[in-house]
Amino acid sequence: MSKLLKTVAMAALVCASAVAVQAQELKIGYVNSEVVMREANMAKAAQLKLETEFSKREKEFKDQEAKLRAAAEKLEKEAPTLSEGERNRRQRDVIDRDRELQRKGRELREDLNQRKNEELGALVERANRVIKQIFDAEKYDLIVQEAIMASNRVDITKKVIDALNAQK
């Protein structure tokens, strides 16, 4: 029986060694997507493009907001001296302008979010192609984009950013 135990123990040791060797051969990579989306030249260019595209509308919105605030303050100051009819008319005007401004603000945010999603989608698509190219070229077994913890040894984020930046 002791010979059988020795044989089983030896077989278990051989299996454990084989698993350890096989685990060491795995090539795993980690990509921090947030860093890629923030630091890649394409991401910076997309951000600049959106700022340029929406800066005029945002300025107009802020100007209208300031005018509405000034009108509301003026009404508040002059309200005691105005007739009831005039006060009511100006209050309705301020309320209508506020509603219109809120509507424009919602439209601006929706348009901006839609464009951000379009730009982000294009960046994600290109980043995923680059990750796939790195995966194939360097014969990775696994590349993950979401991890609780990852060591610098498996972090290929910079490699992905550099590859994205090299593309035109």
CATH number of 83's domain: 3.30.910.20
How many structural domains are present in the chain? 1
Write the single-letter amino acid at 131: I
Give the torsion sign (CA, 9, 10, 12, 13).
positive
Walk along the chain (168 residues) and give the pLDDT tens digit of each residue: 556 555 544 554 455 445 544 556 899 999 999 999 999 999 999 999 999 999 999 999 999 999 999 999 998 998 889 899 998 999 999 999 999 999 999 999 999 999 999 999 999 999 999 999 999 999 999 999 988 888 999 999 999 999 999 986
pTM of the full predicted structure?
A: 0.68
Residue 122 structural domain: 2-166
